[in-house]
Each structure stands twice: as C-alpha cells, then as structure tokens.
Structure 1
C-alpha cells in the first residue's frame, strides 16, 4: 500500500447537515473561578467583589434563520438566557424572526465556571448581530443586573468587579498570563444562596481581606504574575474558612513541591487548582496528573488570564 493511501478515509465521509438559512453567533468565555473574591466596602457596607480568572472555555449561542416561526426549544433548560432574550427584545421593542436558537457550552453548571453568565452574554451578543445593532456593554450589564450576580466575562481584561452591582471598581489590565492545573470537585454551589453567609464572613475578616486585595492590586500594577498567583492563594485560604474545598489542604501542603506560584479556587463553586507563571515541563504535567488522581480527580491544564505564558 502506498504511503498516500494511509491518509485516505476508509469510506466516503458523510457531509454534515446543510445550513439553509443565515447564521448569527454570539460567544462568551467562562472562568475557572476567581483570583480574588472578597468585600468592597462602600458607606460601611460590604459588597461582594471579584477578580475573575478567565479561561478559553466558551458558551456559544447561535440563531439560524428559516422556517415558519421562532423555535425557542434551545432555551428549555436555560431559564436565565431566556430571561435575557426577553429583556433585550423588550428594551429594543423587537420580536424574534422565524428561526432556531441553539446553544453549546464547554462550561460545567454549578461549578463556578460562570456558565449561566456566559450563556446570557453569548445570547446578547448573538442578538446584537442578528438585529444589526451596535454592541453596547451598558445593555449587557443592565440585563445582567436584572437576572443574577455575575462574573466579568464580558470584559477583555482583569478587573475588580462588583458582582451584584455590576460595576467595575478598578480595571487591572490584560498583561498578566498564568498557567493552571485544576480539578473540579463533586457537588454544586448556589451563588445566590451563598451570598448572605459570605457577607457575614467578610465582616469577621475585614482586615485580612483588605491586605489581600491591596497586595493583589499591587501585583497587577507591577505586571507580577507570581505576585498575582500568591495573592490568589491568600484569597483561596480565606475562602476556605467559609466555603471549604475537600482537596484544599492537600493542594496547599504540596504546592511548593510542584513549584506552583499559587493556588486558586472557584469561591462559590467547586474548582480548585495551582497557578504557575511559566508552563510546567511534561514531566511535571505527569506528576500533577498522578497527584490529582490520588485525590480522586482528573486534572486539566489551561492557559488562563490575558498575557502570554
């Protein structure tokens, strides 16, 4: 057999279904939780503030024109995205044309990966394109504010962000990049239900959170990826007092052995992992995989943040 024959398919490939109508898409990345979650005090009142950890895992919303009516079956298990669609249409005094709305997502639900926020943002971005409207972030934040607390997945940089008030306290730039090794523990966390308990926790540890966020901001201002990772580890340790992760103690005890620069968690989720300012070697990848498997988890690796690693 000629070498070129090895490259030929054994049987003719079947074409995918033809797209008969015009297609419009919206895409939003998700997160691996947060580098920081803690209080931002205004007029003596703590508000939940976060620095999201963006990852190149996405939610897609696609609208395909055609048919006799609007097929919204894709929204049957996405109530928040359905609410976002209704609010957008009401705001712009529009109705959906005939066609089919569909979703695909890399993001696990209830794990702290901003799956519902990403669905909402992807939906809105799809609608802006469908109706030929200029994208307006103010519309996105207005819609989010009427649905849920949210991560800052619609931004293209790090930011200290008020998840309930939907407001950027301080931009932190897009120069820092990190490498993550992480796992997703069992269970889910309801972000809204966790809110009151978190605020009480913040009051008890106000000074520790102040020191943590001030150090993290200094590291961002200096473009210090290792300092950002160390700040994330301090924030994760504070979170462990309120919403503990089962693997936290084991990861912290082994951090230096793996040469990790820090740890991170999804504060109201179940993601936990290590942060590195440089990509680990292939041998380190294998050792990390073995370590997480001993804890009962399959780990994953990803570049996170915005800068190169």
Structure 2
C-alpha cells in the first residue's frame, strides 16, 4: 500500500476540495478474435462500453489517513503515476465506488485503474495524457479500451489501438451473468490455437463488424457480434447461448453478445424495449434460472 508522504516534489496545485475520476466499464466484447494485420499472434477486441462506472475520489485534508485505500492494481497505478511525474500526494483521503462486478467481463480492474489516474491528473491539475495512461496500463495488465470514450479495435495484450470506430452505434441490452470466472491469461494459448483453426471465419466476422460501424448500421454490428459469440462457443462456451439464439427473434433482439473470456451474455436491441417486452425478456431469463439486468451499451 502506498503512503501519502514522500520526498518527491509537492503537488503543483493542491485541490481546494474533492476531485474525482470516473471510467465506464464494459459488457464484454462485440468482437474478440485474431487480427490478420498483426505481425504476431494476439487477441484483438472491440470492447462493448456500458453505462456502468468506477469512481475514485480524492479529498484533501491534513487530518486524513496516510494510506491509499485502493485495490492493489490501482495503488500500483498511483505509484507509477507519482514516479512518472516526480510528485507526492498532499495529505488527503481516497474513496472509491463501482457499479462493475469483478471477474465477470466488465473490465472492472482496468476501469478502476483509469478512474484512479483520471483522479490523480485532476488532483495535480495536470492535462490529461492518454499516452501516460496506456503506458501505466501496459505495466500492469492486459486491458480493455475503456480509456477511450468511443469504440475501438484494440490489441489488448499490446495496448495498441488499431482503429477508432466512433460513437455512432448504441444498443439497449438485457443480460445475465452465468456462474464462474475465466482467467484470460490462462486460456490465451487455447484461444490463439482456436483462432488459427478458424481464421477465415473470424476475418469475415471482423470485416462485417467494421463495415457495420463504418455505415452506422447497428443491425449489421449486432449480426457480427452474434457471429463472434457463436465462434467463441467452440472454445469458451456459455451454457445459455443456444437458448438465447433460439429465442432472439421472438423477443425482438437484433443480436446476442458475450464476454468472450467472462461470464456475461445478453441480447442487443437497437431500440429501447417497452415494459411488456422487458417483462417477456425477464420471464425468459428467469425460466433459465437467472435474473436479468438492463443497461445501455455503446453510444449513439
């Protein structure tokens, strides 16, 4: 755990009151698979941003505790930030809050790190520098692209944005969390072998997805997301996938999405479902033994 005292340079502009950093999470991915342009095997993702967030607040004060009550990765990120800029924190207190469930595919740890760094930029009145954020993330973990406020095709292991996909596409979602967790690092080799066996199918899927984004067509994006989810079934299956696929049309959904290396699965709707449709969706998921949640994903 990092202390708030040190010998480094003091804050340039200590805050007069509470400052905050906020970062959205994800509902898994609209695509996860290989990238033919990549010179080395890696996992490419188009993360699915969700209107759920992680918050980090800093309140200055000489009577505040002298410890950072942050998670291990966020505390590491704070230490790297202070080292990079040669700064030490003024006396104060950190508080955190999150809507994001841990270990299910909502990018909770990455969102915590980004929220921490955004809070620190504000604490020291420094201009926000995404290159610093990416560099710190790269030193800590494989990361989703939640540091961007738009869709992106992203190499999560190499922290490289291949293509920015904008903010024209948005969905309403109904989703559940299946039991269990998936360790992405532990299954990376399994995934890469699966990608090699199905390279042409993934290439067509990604091409269709990118065309959907380029034309602003949510239905095309939803179809490609469903294809990506179906391909994932062969290596990291979801127990309820076949049921969702079979009932997608009846419930008026354009597609099915998953957290490819997580536990989330749900429906994509380009228009907000009405109360009756939400009741039907909820009854369907309850028949599978799950309580569903509704959330807005993407932008648009």
TM-score if structure 2 supplies the norm length? Answer: 0.92
Q: Distance in 1 between matches of 2:148 and 2:137?
A: 13
Partner of 2:23: 28
Which of 40, 43, 47 pairs up with 1:48? 43
Check if 1:149 corresponds to 2:142.
yes
Alignment pair present for 1:205 and 2:195:
no
Structure 2 alignment gaps of length 5 or more: 1-15
The DSSP-based 3-state class of the residue aligned with 1:150 is: coil
Partner of 1:65: 60
Question: Could you say which residue in structure 1 is the equivalent of 2:8?
Answer: none
Shift of 1:79: 1.0
Q: Indicate if the aligned counterparts of 2:68 and 2:75 stay in contact, CA closer than 8 A.
A: no
Cα distance in 1, alignment partners of residues 294 and 64 from structure 2 = 43
Assess if the C-alpha contact under 8 Å between 1:28 and 1:118 holds in 2.
Answer: yes
Structure 1, unmatched stretches of 5+, are 1-20
Shift, 1:281, TM fit: 2.1
CA distance in 2, matches of 1:192, 1:71: 34
Tell me the distance in 1 between the aligned counterparts of 2:67 and 2:36. 41
Q: What's the counterpart of residue 7 of structure 2?
A: none
Decide which of 211, 219, 223 is 1:226's aligned counterpart. Answer: 219
C-alpha change, 1:190 and 1:71, in structure 2 (3 Å) is farther
Q: Which residue of 2 aligns with 1:178?
A: 171
TM-score, with structure 1 as normaliser = 0.89
Q: Is the aligned partner of 1:214 residue 2:211?
A: no
What CA RMSD, in Å, does the superposition of the two structures yield over aligned residues? 1.3
Q: Any idea what the Cα deviations from partners look like across 1:198-253, whole Å, max 9, x if unmatched?
A: 11111111111100000000011110001101110000001111111111111111
Taking the aligned partners of 1:193 and 1:22, their CA distance within structure 2 comes to: 43
Q: Distance in 2 between matches of 1:69 and 1:282?
A: 47
User: Residue 163 in 1 paired to residue 147 in 2?
Assistant: no
- The CA deviation at 1:59 is 0.2
1:43: how far off?
Answer: 5.9
Cα distance, 1:44 vs structure 2: 4.8
